[in-house]
Chain A
Amino acid sequence: MSAQQTAESTNTMKKKILPYLLLTPMILIMGVLVYYPILATFSYSLKKWKLTAPADIHFIGLKNYIDILQSESFWYSMENTLFILVMVVVFTTICGCMVAMFLNIDVRGSGILMALSILPWALPPYVNGVLWKFVFFSGYGFLNKLLLGMGLISHPIEFLSARWTLLLVVSIVVIWRSTPFMALVCLAGRRSIPSQIYEAARGDGATRTATFRYITAPLMLPFVGVGLTSTSVTAINVFDEIVSLSGYSDLGKNILMESYLTTFEFLNFGKGAAMTYLVMFCALILGVLYLRSLNKEVEY
């Protein structure tokens, strides 16, 4: 083999190895801090493991999962989770589309409006929860003062101490935080449609509803898909807002909160891990949809 050939073959070798080399730091971090813990959590979920009984840790198969599915507390949290999920997905989509249409109108200062509209998304969810707690405060908070002042109620409403009003407030805060992302995704979708298509449709005499039905809606669908899946994942994983609105109480807990309480309050690592796996399973189904909608957007 001549010297030149050797140089060439080391060069192609280098080319083959280089991408893996560049990916090494990322794979290292993700492997140690994400993938390994996920697998470990699964192995915990198959064990009887209470920190209060550290000598008695052993494999019990699916017993944790069966116990959880049979406990009333889990179904209570499940109802709460589903309530938040449905409320957040429906109203974030509606509000997001409305804000997108609003932002699409070109006026002076529309840049400032855009900045204001993403503010709820940009700020810490915990602090957002605190701000809204002041509005829905059970005593003389902003809303109660307003309603009392208008004479609509005679006593302050205890928004945060009843289950369904608390969940409603949690949903409102999460909707408020996730609307900006939905709005921007819709806006990106709307702006990606070339105006020639609309001109052509108008030339062919298409009505407004037909234009929306056959042009706007299908072309925006992939973008709305990204927004929808991302919003659902956010809605399942709500945590900070619940803590700031009602503390670590049982009243408004979702499954994630229940898993937190089981793990760190009752120190039942096995059961807590199993509960997280149930949440993650739901999130993963959405995640696959998310991945598909993201990839579709790229092709588009």
Chain B
Amino acid sequence: MKYMKKIVYVCELLLFLVVTIGPFVWAFVLSVTPDNAVFAPTVKLLPEHVTWAHYGELFSPDSRRGTAFFSAMLNSLRAVGITLCIGVPIAAIAAYALGRMEFKGRNLIKNLLLITMVIPVMATIIPLYRMFAAGEMLDNIFWLSIVYVSSYLPMAVWLISNYFATIPRELDEAARIDGCGEAKTFFYVMLPLSYPILISVVLIMFLNTWSQFQIPLILASSMETKPMAIIVSEFMTKDSVQYGLIAAAGMLALIPPAAATLFFRKYLVAGMMKGSVKG
């Protein structure tokens, strides 16, 4: 009986691994396959020769596609930086008000905020496009990142304010008796105590920004602003599609979010379990 259970578990494990990591392994195989052998009409899965030429082309400074790809990665990274610097503080102070203070309209504001989580990007993008065009804010990484922030705020405020609400009131009363004002209580009591949820929020914002596709598709048009996913999509639609190169670019593009997920899984899992949504 115990033996049976073990066999069943191993089967489940194999199935889980094949479905979860299978696509990555196959994309990696394609990325080291010579161009003429990619999707060649044979049933052989592995290439006869292994080539690193696709990675070489991406890393080479003279290759047009390589430069485009790395400038796109850098653009994505810059957007992540701006999003975090602006999004996290705004979310934290708003969450402090919503999670720890009593005031008129609190529930209304909370519900109005949360309901926007389900609204599709297309519902806001046409007026945004016109607004940005009128204010000459199109094709600008800063304003692009602010639009990202507006789509993350509901999730971030929800997570942080729920966490704040679980911190015992006695703690800030004690701080107040010791002479801390509202600001000091926030910085010296609340923030240090809520670092786990803050890390979760930072990670979720990072992953979301790295994934952006629809918003920059409409609001970003130059090499200086286009993020990673848009450049990969342009590789896919060029006249001579090189699947090996696309696979290599995809593998490189997945490294930052995959590494962050594996290293910080504890915080991500905790954040997700508290009922966040992504994308």
Residues of A within 8 A of B (CB): 16, 18-20, 22-23, 25-27, 29-30, 33-34, 36-38, 40-41, 44, 99, 102, 105, 107, 111-128, 130-132, 134-135, 137, 139-142, 145-146, 148-149, 176, 180-181, 184-185, 187-188, 226, 230, 233-234, 236-237, 239-240, 243-244, 247, 256, 259-260, 263-264, 269, 272-273, 276-277, 279-280, 283-284, 286-288, 290-291, 294, 297-298
Contact = CB atoms under 8 A, between A and B. Distances in A.
Given A29-B153, A126-B233, A240-B211, 18 more contacts: A22-B93, A26-B90, A26-B93, A38-B124, A41-B126, A114-B265, A127-B254, A130-B27, A134-B30, A140-B40, A188-B274, A237-B121, A239-B121, A244-B233, A276-B120, A277-B123, A288-B115, A294-B158
A41 B124 CA distance: 7
Contact of B146 (A29, A107, A122): A29
A113 B19 CA distance: 13
Contacts of B168: none
A284 B123 CA distance: 12
B122 A119 contact: no
B88 to A, nearest CB: 12
Contacts of B117: 233, 287, 290
Given A23-B94, A140-B41, A234-B279, A134 B243 contact: yes
Interface in B227-247: 228-229, 232-233, 236-237, 243, 246-247
Interface residues of B, number: 94
Contacts of A244: 233, 236
A104 to B, nearest CB: 12
B24 A131 contact: yes
A237 B120 CA distance: 6
A291 B162 CA distance: 14
A19 B30 CA distance: 55
Contact of A41 (B96, B127, B273): B127
Nearest to A25: B90
A192 B115 CA distance: 26
Nearest to B16: A102
B124 A145 contact: no
B207 A122 contact: yes
Interface centre among B21, B39, B246 (most CB of A within 10 A): B39
A19 B97 contact: yes
Given A127-B229, A184-B272, A297-B275, A139 B126 contact: no
B263 to A, nearest CB: 9
Interface string B159-179: 000100000000000000000
A283 B120 contact: yes
Contacts of B62: none
Interface string B76-114: 000000000000001101101110010100100101011
Contact of B211 (A124, A230, A243): A124
Contact of A240 (B118, B153, B229): B229
A99 B229 contact: no
A108 to B, nearest CB: 12
Contacts of A18: 97, 101, 182
B210 interface: yes
A130 B272 contact: no
Given A272-B126, A280-B123, A298-B162, A239 B278 contact: no
Interface centre among A126, A240, A264 (most CB of B within 10 A): A126
Nearest to B42: A140
B97 A23 contact: yes
Nearest to B214: A239
10 contacts: A22-B96, A26-B113, A26-B157, A114-B265, A117-B20, A118-B261, A140-B42, A276-B120, A284-B119, A294-B275
B147 interface: yes
B120 A134 contact: no
B11 to A, nearest CB: 11
Nearest to A269: B126
Nearest to A116: B20
Contacts of A264: 218
A181 B258 contact: no
B261 A113 contact: no
A148 B120 contact: no
Contacts of A112: 262
